[in-house]
Amino acid sequence: MYIGKVVRVIALFDPSSRLRPLKFNWSGRLIHVKEVTYTWQSRGGEGAIYHFSLTDGDALYELSYDSRTLLWKLENIEA
């Protein structure tokens, strides 16, 4: 399901994985990231957008981080 909403994220800037979301708020709940399953980049004009597929053990989420606006978005949820 497409969401496309800006969300609050706690992330780790780690030299080994570079950037890794750990927790985020959605719909009044704090979602704990259990596994980042895939990462990729796309272009949004001049800036890169970093995409993260992740799971909390139940649902599959896609978060994106826009390097131009420095905002995180929850793109999709697949329950």
Partner 1 sequence: MEKTIICIDMDAFFASVEQRTDPRLRGRPVAVIGSGHRTIITTASYEARRFGVKTGMTIYEAKRLCPSIIFVVGNNDKYTHTCRELEKIYRALTPYVEIYSIDEAFLDITGLEHLYGGPERVARLIKGRVREGFGIPCTAGIGPNVLLAKLACDMAKPDGIKRIRQEDAEAILENLPVGELWGVGQQTEKRLKAMGITTCGGLGRASASILRARFGIIGERLKAMGMGVWARPLITSEGEPDSIGHSTTLPEDIWNRPDIEAHIMRLSEMVGKRARDYGYIGKKVSITIRYPDFETFTRQKTLQMPTNDTHWIYIHALSLLDRIRLKDRIRLIGVRLAGLVKDHGQISLFLEDEKRNALLKAVDRIKDKYGDSSVTWAASLRCSIHDHKGVISPAWRPSGVRLY
Residue ranges binding partner 1 (CB under 8 A): 35, 37-38, 40-46, 51, 53, 55, 60, 78
* Residue among 9 and 62 whose Cβ is closer to partner 1: 62
Minimum CB–partner distance for residue 28 and partner 1 (Å): 25
- Quote the radius of gyration of the chain (alpha carbons, Å): 12
Minimum CB–partner distance for residue 38 and partner 1 (Å): 4
Joined tokens for residue 2: 């497409």
CB 75 within 8 A of CB 51: yes
**Strand pairing partners for 68?**
none
Half-sphere exposure of 39 (CA within 13 A, CB side): 11
* Residue among 28 and 58 whose Cβ is closer to partner 1: 58
Minimum CB–partner distance for residue 55 and partner 1 (Å): 6
